[in-house]
Chain A
Amino acid sequence: MLKVSDLNKSFATPEGRNTVIKGISFEVKEGECYALLGPSGCGKTTTLRCVAGLEKADSGVITIGKEVVSDPASGIFVPVHQRPIGMVFQSYAIWPHLDVFENVAYPLRVQRPRVAKDEITARVMEVLKLVGMDSLAQRPSTRLSGGQQQRVALARAIVRRPALLLLDEPLSNLDARLRDTMRKELADLIARIGITAMFVTHDQAEAFSLAHRIAVMNLGHIVQEGTPRQIYGRPNSPFVAFFMGSANVLAGRASASGREVDLIGDNRIVVDDVLESGEAVSVVLRPGQLRLTREQPRDARNALSGQIRRLTFQGGSIECDVHLGGDLAVRLPIPSELELEKDMPVWIVIDSLDGSVFREKDGSIKGGLM
């Protein structure tokens, strides 16, 4: 449905050219919801704007449906208003001089050949109903709450039945509570109308709950692509692992045998692979991989000794910071029934090291692919 191959884009800045997209390629299948996920400045929004036709790419081919809409090498650039898209903007961009109905009707009013008046009314009311705004059709758009603006923006984007729906950080302008509700509504709606959609976000929870597939971007590259489960379960770099949520990073060096990672102090981690002796290794551990015990476990393959540095009561659980020596520490939630105190010696058991060990060639946390 949407195919992007070898896309490049740079901007002129006072300090010289700033390359924000460095040859990225991906494909979005019919009916799929695809997310570009990454930190700010990774090039995700620029990619979306190139697909929309709001930016001109330097090189690379963008195809929507069967039509090539951008290919600088062949001099092809279809302007934004001739692309079969609908778009929800980060600020929603609801026009203040038009009421809710007219905002949504706009794409049909500017369509040529003209759409009949009755049909416009019917279709606008249909999508307003879909987003639950049909009772507010006549409301001036200057009197809408954030969530209502979001619904109107969405209705406006789908009213002309575009082949591709684009959403730029669709939930970032809402407060946390509303964001949760709107995320579920948006997921339902996209599923119900079965539209092909692509969206951009920096919030992994948003990407996980909305997208069928995710491309994680960093520094102008796609560093990993896959289903939410794949990305969370098998990150391919410390960057992705770290970006996926509250992970602990332990840096160390491979032992002489290459079968262990020596950390600072007496702690070491036995690994499954054979490492090159002495090479730098990052072990990225999510809280779910860790257990805390007070006695030294006998049969555990990997157990790290440490000392409790801080306990933070959080209602159902306690957030526990454990100091492992040097500048190494891990943070994990523990059940609030456990009776622990500050400075108590404890053990951290690592049950599974699946996909947690990264070698130097996998890149650093910040660097992605270097």
Chain B
Amino acid sequence: MSRLAKIDIGEKLVPALGAAAALYLIAVPIIMLFYAAFHGPSDYLPFEAGSKWTLDNIRSVFSDPILYGRILPDTLIFVTGTVTLTTFLAFTFAWLIERSDIAGSDVWFSLILFPLLVPIPVLAIAWIFLLGPNAGWINLAIRAVFGMDGNGPLNIFSMTGLIVCQSLASTPFVFLLMTATLRSMNPQMEEASGASGASPLTTFRKVTLPVLLPGILAPVILVTLITLEQFELPLIIGLPARVNVFAYRIYNELNPASGLPNYGGAAAISIPFLALGMLALAFYNWTIRRADKFAIVTGKAYRQRQIPLGRWKIAAYALLIVYAGLAVILPAFVLIWTSVLGYSFPSLAALPNATLSAYRDVMGNATFWRAVVNTLLVAFFTALIATTVGALLGWIIARSQWWGRRGIDFISFMSTGIPSVIVALAVMLIYLSVPIGIYGTIWILIIAASYRIAATTRIARAGLLQIHSELEEASAASGGKWLNTQLRIVVPLLLPALMSGFILIFIVGTREFTIPLVLHSPENIVLPVLLWQLFQNGQPMPSAALATFIMAMVFPMIFLARRYIAPRTASE
């Protein structure tokens, strides 16, 4: 036996594989993007014969007056409007549910969470059915009540309509983070203000808000980032409204109305977009650090004092009902109704004509079943990869002394700031250039979507930090090798955390629309893309049937989400 210290191969190799995977999933696409942006001619793939270094793409993109006249202002208005409305709704709901004496807070919590689970095209189609200027139910109802003629009065196909719809869709996520912020506040902070002689209003102004501010600001920046990368609603609602935001513009370069795909142009316009995302991300990081510093007693959820609403109660219920109505109940109802009775204003007289023929048509189609299987496979494998890689990165960051672990942390964190449309573009460029036979299969979707490892890394790291390292050392002292220790001690203890990360990414995976649309082929179709195709072909009944099916499929996930995800955001 050698007396030299023997290196445990597993300890080096397994996490190294995780780091390599992270680089492959995140860094390679970004490098590819920059490479493509500086290669031309623009309809050539970056590694195609005849392609060479050039500044043409950059020049043509940035000298385009549409960029300054339309895309930048539209993006700015869209993001500002959505972030403002979302923040208002999310904070109000979080405060009502966590701090006020509102009844049925559990039911409201589930209702508010629901849009988080449904793929956005489902909601978009429902909102078009409800708010379309001609035959939208709400418009028909308003016109009937006030005796108006013509179109409207509400028009979903407008900047306002887009902002309202996006806010309805974004609220649940921000709401979830804000409830966690509110719960983490030590109520003694407020009591100490009262005991100092400050009135409740002064306390709210001088203590509650300033103490919570970093914790509120962080989700606001995050939603800014998410709004910036939104593609679904800008495509489905924004396009007819002639709203032209960044994300849609990239897609448009790849799928021009006429001519060849403009790879170089798409890559070039991605760069400022990406830079903006990174900027927001840096700001987010800064606020998170500040929020951490503010939580003097950290990681603890407090039982909060409930504040009586008094005469504000009616307004609170009204707001909750309007939100639940527009984001959950009416969309579900209009889709179910349309799926069995066609797109018509609801009336009792129509009921006897109900038919399941649309469901038979949809389910009789082989494409439908392929889409169901693809959706589940993509969600499952994406979640598996993101959780595994995230766990390994979490281990490197929390436990190892590796050189470059800060870089790994940074790369994982950066994935939050990369818009999915850019990842889709970069992955497209890679696998068109490197033909290894996955282009057009579900595997390209899985590889593209698995870049979202920021959340799983953070969850795993937080979980690991709660597992005392002595538990691992005790296993080593009992003669366990690294891999044995990990599999027998760490993984079982980390399982609840890994589980919540897995479910989170699985849910995100079932909602995935942007990546599958950009990388779409007949073989790798997923449900949200199929739904969008049906809807575009002008088939309201089958699209409603498919949308209803998707809703029914994701509905059980609300229980998983409440059980595994909501408490975890609360503890972080």
Residues of chain A whose beta carbon lies under 8 Å from any beta carbon of chain B: 52-54, 79-82, 85-87, 89-91, 93-98, 106-107, 110-111, 141-142, 149, 153, 156-157, 160, 166
Contacts and interface: CB of A to CB of B under 8 A. Distances in A.
Given A85-B195, A96-B211, 10 more contacts: A81-B200, A91-B297, A95-B189, A96-B296, A98-B210, A106-B206, A110-B193, A110-B198, A110-B206, A160-B197
A93 B194 contact: no
B191 interface: yes
B188 interface: yes
B294 interface: yes
A119 B201 CA distance: 25
Given A95-B189, A96-B296, A87 B195 contact: yes
27 contacts: A53-B194, A80-B191, A81-B193, A81-B198, A81-B200, A81-B203, A82-B197, A85-B195, A87-B192, A91-B188, A93-B191, A93-B192, A94-B296, A95-B207, A96-B295, A96-B296, A97-B211, A107-B198, A110-B196, A141-B296, A142-B293, A149-B296, A156-B192, A157-B195, A160-B196, A160-B197, A166-B195
Contacts of A81: 193-200, 203
Contacts of A110: 193, 196-199, 202, 206
B500 interface: no
A97 B191 contact: no
B211 A95 contact: yes
Contact of A80 (B195, B206, B295): B195
Given A91-B297, A97-B210, A97-B213, A107 B189 contact: no
Nearest to B196: A107
Contacts of B202: 110
Contact of B195 (A86, A95, A96): A86
B186 interface: yes
* B195, B199, B206, B296: most-surrounded residue (chain A CB, <10 A): B195
A54 B200 CA distance: 12
A96 B209 CA distance: 12
Interface bracket on B: 20 to 34
A61 to B, nearest CB: 21
Contacts of B203: 81
B10 to A, nearest CB: 39
A89 B188 contact: yes
A191 to B, nearest CB: 23
A142 B194 contact: no
A89 B188 CA distance: 7
A81 B202 CA distance: 10
Contacts of A89: 188, 191-192
Interface in B175-223: 186, 188-189, 191-200, 202-203, 206-207, 210-211, 213
A156 B189 contact: no
Contact of B192 (A53, A82, A95, A97): A95
Contacts of A53: 194
A52 B190 CA distance: 13
Contacts of A94: 296
B365 to A, nearest CB: 51
B191 A54 contact: yes
Given A80-B191, A93-B186, A95-B189, A111 B197 contact: yes
B188 A93 contact: yes
A110 B201 CA distance: 11
A85 B213 CA distance: 29
A296 B293 CA distance: 66
Contacts of A97: 210-211, 213, 294
Contacts of B297: 91
A93 B211 CA distance: 11
A108 to B, nearest CB: 9
B95 to A, nearest CB: 19
B198 A106 contact: yes
A78 to B, nearest CB: 12
A80 B196 CA distance: 9
Interface in B390-446: none
A142 B192 CA distance: 17
A82 B197 CA distance: 6
B196 A156 contact: yes
A106 B193 contact: yes
A348 B207 CA distance: 61
Contacts of A80: 191, 194-195
A52 B191 CA distance: 10
A200 to B, nearest CB: 14
Contacts of B192: 87, 89, 93, 95, 153, 156
Nearest to A143: B293
B197 A107 contact: yes
Contacts of A111: 197
A91 B211 contact: no
Q: Which 8 pairs of residues, A with B, have the shortest CB-CB distance?
A: A107-B196, A93-B188, A87-B195, A93-B192, A80-B194, A110-B198, A96-B294, A97-B210
Nearest to A84: B197
B188 A142 contact: no
Nearest to A105: B196
A96 B210 CA distance: 9
Nearest to A149: B296
A301 to B, nearest CB: 54
A91 B186 contact: yes
A89 B297 CA distance: 13
A93 B196 contact: no
A368 B194 CA distance: 35
A160 B192 CA distance: 13
A80 B190 CA distance: 11
A81 B206 CA distance: 14
Nearest to A144: B296
A299 B192 CA distance: 61
B193 A142 contact: no
A86 B191 CA distance: 11
A325 to B, nearest CB: 42
Nearest to A94: B296
Interface string B294-332: 111100000000000000000000000000000000000
A153 B191 CA distance: 13
A93 B184 CA distance: 13
Contacts of B191: 52, 54, 80, 87, 89, 93
